[in-house]
Amino acid sequence: MYDLFDVLFAQYAAAKISGLTALQANTDQRLTSSTDRLTALEHKYERMHIVTVALWALLKERTGLTDSDLKRLVGSVEASEANAHGAAGTTACPKCSRVIRKSAMRCVWCGAAVTTGNAFHGT
Ligand SMILES: [Zn+2]
C-alpha cells in the first residue's frame, strides 16, 4: 500500500517539478527579452539625444535662435498638446505641475511616476 502511494506521489511530484521548471524557463526568457528591449530603447534614446543636441546647436549657430526661444516654443507645443487632447485627456504632473497626457505612466518633463487611479490608463 505504501509502495503504491509512494510511486503515485513521486509521479505527481515529478510532474509538478517539470511544470515549474518549464514555467521558470518561460519567465527567464521573458525577462531576457524585456532586458534586451530596454537596452535597445536606451540606445535609441541616446542616439536621439545626441542628434537633438547637435541639431539644436546647428540651429542656434545658423539661425540665431536662443535657448529662451526653444523654451517658448516647447511651452507652445505643450499648450497645443493640451488643447489637442482636451482637459479630459490631460492632467497636471503631481511633481512639476506641467501638462501631461493622462495615459502617461511617467511625466515627460521631470520623470515622476504618474498614477491616475485608473488601472486601464497607460495600457
Ligand atoms: Zn513632472
> pLDDT tens for residues 84-105?
777 677 888 899 998 888 888 8
| Ligand 1 centroid distance, CA of 96 (Å) | 4
> DSSP for 68-104?
HHHHHHHHHHHHHHHHHHHHHHEEE-TTT--EEETT-
| 98 CA from centroid of ligand 1 (Å) | 6
Domain ranges of the chain: 2-65
Give the Å distance between the CA of 3 and the centre of ligand 1.
66
Q: What is the average pLDDT across 43-51?
A: 95
State in Å: Cα 105 to ligand 1 middle. 11
**Grid cell for residue 65:** 535662435
Cell of 8: 503515485
pLDDT band at 119 (very low <50, low <70, confident <90, very high): low
Split at pLDDT 50, 70, 90, the class of 21 is confident
Q: Is the pLDDT of residue 32 over 90?
A: no
Opening angle at CA 85, ends 42 and 123, nearest 5? 50
**Band of pLDDT at residue 62, cut at 50, 70 and 90:** very high
Q: Higher model confidence: residue 48 or residue 117?
A: 48
Distance 31 CA to ligand 1 centre (A): 29
pLDDT in the model for residue 83: 76
